[in-house]
Amino acid sequence: MDGFTIPIGEWGKSVVDWVRDDLDWLTDAIAAFVGFLAEGLAAMLMAPAAPVMIVLFALIAWLVRSWKLAIGTVVMFVVILGVDQWDNAMQTLALVLIATLVTVAIAVPLGIWAARNDTVSAVIKPVLDLMQTMPSLVYLIPVIIFFSLGFVPGVIATVIFSLPPGVRLTELGIRGVDSETVEAGHAFGATPGQILRGIQLPLAMPTIMAGVNQVIMLALSMAVIAGMAGAPGLGKEVVAALATINVAQGIEAGLGVVFIAVYLDRVTAALGNPGGNRSSLMGMMQRRRDEMRRASAASAAQEANSAASELIEGGARPSPGGA
């Protein structure tokens, strides 16, 4: 077997070289679009004063989850501010949010397609396996070649790394919808699009949101690796701390990543069941609407009973000209 080689690496290098040389217009367009989104969102998050943003994050936590998470949010973000990692945390948050939006925009339609077509499902599964098991550092090599250093390669590498769970859980959620419910929709003459929007997506939403949650967690784990590609934020701080063996800097930047992960995890988990958390503002509003509906229904039933009683009494009362 001496001399037997399969030049897979050289084939891959040839593909990368071809994309770099012949599709530079496409990579430039992607870099401009992603860079505009990521840098613009980071600037928006850093523009207001930090206390204003902390209050806003706390209100979002209270709206979808609970007042306890709101208090925890204030504590976590005050700690980030206190260790002078606020700007880095906002840059990391912008990177994660943009990468998540791009990933979800790709993963959900692809998962729906795979759920409706067994051939597509069979084709993309090994591709997703490859994407999910490939060492994350490997993604940085081609993206740095295509997009140089900065926000853009970090976002692109994060999207590639976090895409598989979004596709898998979307497909799982759509396939897990009760077939009898779908058949009932067909029986009532609903089109495939109406069944998807009115039956499958609402019933699959908890599973899809679990996929979004996993996408965000993987994106945060990749944000540190993206720091090696020059992406600004907490990941770059962790890489710098590693290079200089600075324990304090590493702990502070690492805590920032943990706090953002906890916040995004709790918020996105709550979004899978909006109004289901009793101590959230949405839950309180949902309970108030339910009480108003019950009170309205009880009032309508009482009025109906009163009207029926009056009719009965009127029918039983003898007429004036009767015998």
User: What CA–CA distance (Å, rounded) separates 58 from 72?
Assistant: 8
User: What CA–CA distance (Å, rounded) separates 285 from 275?
Assistant: 8
User: What CA–CA distance (Å, rounded) separates 252 from 237?
Assistant: 9
Highest mean pLDDT among 135-144, 196-205, 271-280, 287-296: 196-205
Q: Looking at per-residue confidence, does 267 or 294 come out higher?
A: 267
pLDDT of the residue at 74: 92
Three-state DSSP class for residue 274? coil
DSSP state of 199: I
pLDDT of the residue at 323: 45
Buried b (16+ CB within 10 A) or exposed e, 256-281: bbebbbebbebbbbbbbeebebeebb
CB atoms within 10 A of CB 59: 13
Has residue 149 got a pLDDT over 70?
yes
170 contacts 213 by C-beta, under 8 angstroms = no
Could you read off the pLDDT of 60-79 as tens digits, one per residue? Answer: 888 887 888 889 899 999 99
Across all residues in the chain, what is the average pLDDT?
80
Taking each helix axis from N to C end, the angle separating 24-46 and 136-147, rounded to the nearest 10 degrees, works out to 100
* Helix H or strand E segment including 313: helix 281-316
pLDDT of the residue at 317: 55
- CA torsion through residues 279, 280, 285, 286, sign: negative
Is the pTM higher than 0.75? The answer reads yes
Pick from 20-24, 59-63, 103-107, 266-270: least confident: 20-24
pLDDT of the residue at 287: 67
Has residue 27 got a pLDDT over 60?
yes
Name the token pair of 63. Answer: 């709206």
User: What CA–CA distance (Å, rounded) separates 81 from 87?
Assistant: 9
Quick one: average pLDDT of 2-13?
74
Name the token pair of 135. Answer: 């060492």
CB atoms within 10 A of CB 303: 10
- Give the CA distances from residue 85 to residues 77, 147, 226, 252, in Å, rounded to whole numbers and listed in that order: 10, 26, 17, 8
Could you read off the pLDDT of 256-275 as tens digits, one per residue? Answer: 888 988 888 888 877 766 65
DSSP letter for each residue of 107-150: HHHHHHHHHH-HHHHHHHHHHHHHHHHS-HHHHHHHHHHHH-SS
